[in-house]
Every structure is written in structure tokens, then in C-alpha cells.
Amino acid sequence: MSTLIYWFRNDLRLTDNPAFARACRQAERLLPVYCHAPEAATDWGFARLGAPRRAFLAAGLDDLAGQLAARGSRLLELHGPAAERLAELARAVGAKAVHAEAIAAPEELQEEAALRSAGLRLETHWQSSLLDPAALPFPCAELPAVFSAFRNRVERTGVTPQAPQAAVEHLPPLPAAAAGLDNERPPLPLWHGDPRSAFPFAAGEGAAQAHLRRYFASDLPVHYKATRNGLCGADYSSKLSPWLASGALSPRSVHAALRTHEAAYGASDGSYWLWFELLWRDYFRFLHRQHGARLYRARGLAERAATPRHDAAAFARWCRGQTGEPLVDAGMRELAASGYLSNRMRQVVASYLIHDLGGDWRAGAAWFEAQLLDYDVYSNQGNWLYIAGRGTDPRGGRRFNPQKQAAEYDPQGVYRALWAGD
């Protein structure tokens, strides 16, 4: 038994957090920590973390800190490179090891490697997918190259997710030295959300659990397949992604709520499609375990593909919602104002940047990373690659004609009017 640090990453919750539960079991004294990355600009000339996501993250951390405090512990917030700050902290509190969830994306893996090079013992635990990779009917290295083949094999072999674990209630005491440590939260931007937002919900595990109960106690999931391409309002899709991405909610909790809903309402096309989408989320996770940094090359997984041209002025107009294409502009304004965008509009605006403007998909992915409340490294990279035709999808990219999309999904122009420019 010893002093351990638990490093919260994209798992800001106490319910169904096996990595955290394990640290609690193993530690005599435990210090829960979140480390804010240093402010950085992207290669494309804008801040890596936009105001909406910073505000949402801060509110999620407040919720987590409150839960830890209610259990006699605390959340220490550090600011700076994780390897440096955690190594300093381990020395200061006499911690023997750091426990954390595993993240299989290149930068996050580099962070882990830096921590180990700093002499720290780091124990990571994979927990962000719905399905346990060890339960798949194939190793991740042999993941089917096409999503439908992956889904068929999962469904044929009847792989089922494990039940979520209850929230950790009993936490080890803090190390004595923690009393003298102050939080280092970077200053927050002023951001109050937008009354038109399709995601009018609060951050944190409490709000996530409340939304999960409300959504699955209603008949909304029954109609999900028919409504999921909606553009306006809070109910056309589940709106679970911001909590899933920050880890306020685990996918296994979502799955358990989905099955409870089916027990009450019966299985429906809608409830099946929610499972289907959760499998997409897993697929992009497993794809990262298979291909790693190759997913981040300009050519992605393509054998050969030209590096796209980056026209900074055209890209800036796209970001600001000033392309002159009304549906695209409405989407880009919604994204910047609210930090949320429907799946349909994500496809439309991404396709426009890649296929109409001939822009670099990596710049678009970086802009989404900065703006989205639900930014998730796996799903963002995977979807951008898919639309660019540089992932595993054999169809060579997805092009969405914005005028046809407007006629089909916004026939009365309600969405375009909602997000029309000033």
C-alpha cells in the first residue's frame, strides 16, 4: 500500500470508472489530479482550445471536484506539461505511481511516454470503449477495414458490453502534503452559451446522469432513427456526446440505460440505431489501436494521396461562416457560437471544406477540435478521414452537395434563418 496519484484525463466521473476504482483499492493515500495542457496554437494559426470547450471543461471539473469533496477528497488542478507537473507533484507528495485511463492517440501516448521517461511508474487502464477489446472476435491489429464488417462480426458473435460499475464511494485519504497545494486553473474566457444552442445542458456527471435518465425514460429513442438527421432543437438526437467525450458518462452506462429503455418500450429501429452509432464510436477507437499515428498523416491510410492545399483566407472564411454557401455558413456559425453541431451538419461543412474548397482536412479537424464541446480525438479524426476518403472506407470520400442537403434537411430554411449572419 502506498501513496498514488490518480490522473483524470477524459474520464471525469466516479461512476463506472474502473481505472479510478482500482487506484482507490490500491492506494493507502490518493491524490486525484487533472492537468490542464499549456495554452497552445495549432499549426493553422488559432488557439487549440476554444472558449466553449474551455468553459464546458471547467464546469465538468467543478462537478468532479464537488463529488470528490463530498467523499472527503479533492481534485488538484495543475497547469503545464503533464509529465513535468506530475513528476514534480509525485516528488512533493511522495507518490510511488500514477494511475490513469489509457488513451490510444499519438499525442496522448507521447504524454505517457514522457511521464515514464521522467522516472514515474504509470499504470494505465483501457476503459473508454463500450466493448472490451479483449472480448472482440479478432485482435485490434486485424480489425475489419470496413465498419459494416466490424459490426457484423461483433453482432454475429454476440459480444456484449459489461455492466457499468457503481460509483466509488470510499476514497483513500489525501496525502498530508496535498494540504499545501493550490489549484492552478488557467483563466477562463467569458462564455455564456447561446440561447439557440441544440445542446442547452450543463457539464459534469450529475447533469449527464440526469439527461441519460430523462432521455431513456422518454420515447425519444424509439424515434431516434427518424429524427437523428434533424438540425434544430435539443431532442433530435441523444446529445450524449459532450459527456461521453469528457468522460462524465461511460458508454457502458449509456448502453445499460438503452437496454432498460428497450425493456420498457420494446426494441425499435431507433434503439438499434443508437447501438449502431455507439459501435461507430468504438470502431474509431479500435482503428486508433490498429493504425496509430498513420491516421494523422496528410494521406491518412491511403497508399498515395496528394497533400491538400491550405488556402488560409478561404479556410478563415469557412471558420467564420462566410463562404457564401448559406447552409455551410449557418453550420459554421452554430459551431462557433454554441460548440455543438449535428452529425448531418458536421458532414456537410467537412465535405464543403474538403471537396468544394479543396482544403486540408487536417485544418478542419483542428478547427473542430478547438470548437466542439464533444471533441473526441478518436471520433473526430476518424470521421474527418472518412469524409476525406483517407481512412478505411473504400468509397473514396463522402461528398455532400450543400444545396441538395438544404433542400432535404432544411426545406423551409428554418435552420439557415436561425443561424443567419448579423
Ligand X SMILES: Cc1cc2nc3c(=O)[nH]c(=O)nc-3n(C[C@H](O)[C@H](O)[C@H](O)COP(=O)(O)OP(=O)(O)OC[C@H]3O[C@@H](n4cnc5c(N)ncnc54)[C@H](O)[C@@H]3O)c2cc1C
Binding site for ligand X (CB under 6 A): 228, 237-241, 244-245, 274, 277-278, 280-281, 284, 342-343, 346-347, 350, 368, 372, 374-376, 379-380, 383-384, 387
CB closer to ligand X, 18 vs 242? 242
Q: Is 241 annotated as a binding residue?
A: yes
Q: Is 239 annotated among the ligand-binding residues?
A: yes
Instruction: State the cell numbers at 378.
Output: 478518436
With residue 42 as reference, give the H or E element that holds it: none
**Is there a binding annotation on residue 108?**
no
> Can you read off the three cell numbers belonging to residue 152?
457484423
CB of 365 to ligand X, least distance (A): 7
In angstroms, rounded to a whole number, what is the distance separating the alpha carbons of residues 124 and 100? 5
386: annotated binding-site residue?
A: no
User: Between residues 78 and 287, which has the closer beta carbon with respect to ligand X?
Assistant: 287
Report the alpha-carbon distance of residue 420 to residue 297 in Å, rounded: 35
Residue among 2 and 260 whose Cβ is closer to ligand X: 260
Answer yes or no: is 327 a known binding residue. Answer: no
Order of strands, edge to edge, in the sheet holding 27-36? 76-79, 27-36, 2-8, 97-101, 121-125
Minimum Å gap between C-beta 350 and ligand X is 4
Q: Is 278 annotated as a binding residue?
A: yes
* C-alpha cell recorded at residue 12: 471525469
Q: Between residues 79 and 228, which has the closer beta carbon with respect to ligand X?
A: 228
C-alpha 404/C-alpha 409 separation (Å) is: 9
Long-range pairs, 228-233, Cβ under 8 A, ≥24: 228/273, 228/277, 228/343, 229/342, 229/343, 229/344, 229/409, 230/342, 230/344, 230/409, 231/198, 231/342, 231/344, 231/345, 231/409, 231/410, 231/415, 232/198, 232/414, 232/415, 232/418, 233/198
At its nearest, how many Å lie between ligand X and the CB of residue 142? 21
C-alpha cell at 202: 450543463
Q: How far is the CB of 276 from ligand X (least distance, A)?
A: 8
Of 127 and 241, CB closest to ligand X: 241
Cβ of residue 321: shortest distance to ligand X, in angstroms? 16
Q: Which of 355, 272, 358 is nearest to 311 (CA)?
A: 358
Q: Binding site annotation covers 62?
A: no
Nearer to ligand X (CB atom), residue 32 or residue 331: 331
Judged by beta carbon, residue 33 or residue 348, the one nearer ligand X is: 348
CB 312 within 8 A of CB 356: no
Confirm whether residue 346 is marked as ligand binding. no
Question: Min. distance of Cβ 183 from ligand X in angstroms?
Answer: 27
Q: Which residues of 100-127 are buried (b: 16+ CB within 10 A; e: fewer)?
A: bbbbbbbebbebbebbeebebebebbbb
237 is in an annotated binding site: yes
> What's the closest the beta carbon of residue 135 comes to ligand X, in angstroms?
19
Point out the annotated binding site. Answer: 224, 237-241, 277-284, 374-376
Point out the annotated binding site for FAD. Answer: 224, 237-241, 277-284, 374-376
